Structure 1
């Protein structure tokens, strides 16, 4: 199992969500508001804040879905401009369902 963590532009979320829901077996996702910046900051005004709003997406998926989900995010969330976002794939050793006590390395 892997975690796919993506940081995308907020206006891209509806389009990305629709695309991900069309993937057979898509396990679901969590979305939260996020602010951050990278090394290429542009000062555009006097009251400058380096933090830019983004959406953080977390998806825990079985290995066989990771490539499909990753590619969908890279394609659909691409604004073709600097700051479009980033995607990471992280190994997950184990997960658990709190309500049932079930645990293992392949839970989604």
Structure 2
């Protein structure tokens, strides 16, 4: 991966500050960085979000559609989700997303 090569080939004297809101395995990445560089890598985690993370995609009409609000997405011609995909998304939405007020 490009980001791995960037870290590997970064000069040893360079200090790295890595920020991400969505890495699932930060402990493993910190350990890996410590193993390939001469300095230890310190992991600082902040679990409170100032801004909620929202997954979205650009649909064929050019509109930004929320990835996990499938019930609210207007269906255009030629657009269809597999029934099992609909079921999985609905299950995910029911378990993880709290209702938001309309703007």
Q: How does the TM-score come out when normalised to structure 2?
A: 0.32
State the structure with bigger RCO (CA 8 A, min sep 6), 1 or 2: 1
Q: Greater Rg, structure 1 or structure 2?
A: 2
Is the strand fraction higher in 1 or 2?
A: 1
